[in-house]
Amino acid sequence: MWSRQDGLVAAGAAALDLVGFTITSQMDQGRVPVAGCLVTVAAALLLLARRRAPLAILAGVLAVNLSLGWLSSVGQHYGAATVVALYTVIRHHRPAVGAAAVAGCVVAIQFVRPAAVAPSAVELAANVASALFVVGTAIAVGHWQRNAEAQRQLLAERAVAEERRRVARELHDIVAHHLTTMQLLAGGARANLDRSPETAREALVTLEGSGRTALREMRHLLDVLRAGDEDDGGETTSPQPGVGDLDRVVEDSRRAGLPTTLTTDGDPGTLPPGVALTVFRIVQEALTNSRKHAGPGAHVDVRLAFAAHEVRVAVTDAGPGRGHPAARGSGYGLMGMRERVALHGGSLRTGPEGEGFAVRARLPLPADRQETRA
């Protein structure tokens, strides 16, 4: 079967050859032979099957076009149908087969004539030049297509690598935050099991809720990864966490034994989903680091400032106390923060501040959001 593209190519070649044959016949003979027009169209129609049998179609096009010599006085030349057929052979066969096809075209067009008229050197030169032009075009197009395919492959590999990094960041943020919270709650429940069973029971209830939240976020991440699968049953995914979910994260931090305050300056309005998720993950990861490293008696202050052109996030803790400087690594959590902030063109500063540690981020807002807020 032939494709729509093959049909368009055949129609275009037929139109070009028919116009050329009509003009040449009118100039040479003063009339246009109907039989010659039919033969010209028939040669172009053979191109419908050019992909299935390139060599056979080239031979057929040459044979049909050469028969024009017995129907009119139009000289042999490289018509559009012949050019397309030869191009297809060069693109779909080995170089040796392509070279043989070029030589065959040159010989057939130059020497197969109904009249015993010796071909001129000018005609031979034009014949060879036309064949070489087709060869050069086929080689150039093939080189361009190979480069384009390599570029597409490279972009696809980069997209896959970026998606892997994104998934790794999400997994780290979810697992590290919730497991740290659950570990602290479990330790608190064990310590109060004999002295204060009610406190231990509350810690276990909170632990159960934190586990449910972790499972829910993991399911959401898996749903996103499975989006588009044929057997997903048309299930919809829940919204990504955002600024509105920070109260829950702060409350989890308090229940885990780390006094935490949340201060908001300005109206967040409707943040872009990517920015809202980044704000949530920065606060979540910063609180996770504080629970790991700040030590007992520390206090964490979370401040959010919403302006028309940017969002500022600051998470600071008081550290482990005098004489015990904070020791913070540069692990995957901080790396994930930097990558998230960089995606939005923002800036991130992390490091010791006083006896504690501070995470400060600035996220610019899109221009259309700034105009709306203004």
Confidence of residue 178 (pLDDT cuts 50, 70, 90): low
| Of 57 and 185, the one with more pLDDT | 57
Q: What average pLDDT score do residues 277-294 get?
A: 85
Radius of gyration of the chain (CA): 37
| pLDDT of amino acid 306 | 92
Q: Residues, the chain, total?
A: 374
Q: What is the pLDDT of residue 206?
A: 76
pLDDT band for 115, please (50, 70, 90 cuts): low
Quick one: pLDDT at residue 348? Answer: 92
CB under 8 Å to 104, separation ≥6 — which residues? 62
Residue 76 has pLDDT above 70, yes or no: no
Q: Is the pLDDT of residue 140 over 60?
A: yes
Whole-number percent of the chain with pLDDT over 90: 9
298-320 pLDDT tens trace: 889 999 999 888 999 999 988 76
Calculate the average pLDDT of the chain: 78
Examine the pLDDT at 324 and tell me if it is beyond 50: no
Residue 123 confidence (pLDDT) above 90: no
What's the confidence (pLDDT) of residue 305?
Answer: 93
Q: How far apart are CA 351 and CA 289, in angstroms?
A: 12
Beta pairing partners, 347: 362
Is the separation of the CB atoms in 369 and 268 below 8 Å? no
Task: Indicate if the pLDDT at residue 232 is higher than 50.
Answer: no
Mean pLDDT, rounded, for 259-282:
87
Average pLDDT over residues 31-39: 80
With a cut of 70, say whether residue 228 has pLDDT above it: no
CA distances for 130 relative to 102, 103, 104, 272, angstroms: 10, 12, 13, 58
- Check pLDDT > 70 for residue 16: yes
By the 8 A CB rule, do 311 and 275 touch? yes
Q: Which of 337, 333, 350 is nearest to 176 (CA)?
A: 333
Lowest mean pLDDT among 54-63, 68-77, 323-332, 362-371: 323-332
Tell me how far apart the alpha carbons of residues 342 and 344 are, in angstroms, rounded to a whole number: 5
pLDDT of residue 285: 86
Global pTM reads 0.44
Please write the tens of the pLDDT for every residue from 53-63: 888 888 888 88
pLDDT at res. 175: 65
Q: pLDDT category, 227, cuts 50, 70, 90?
A: low
The number of beta carbons lying within 10 Å of the beta carbon of residue 96 is 8
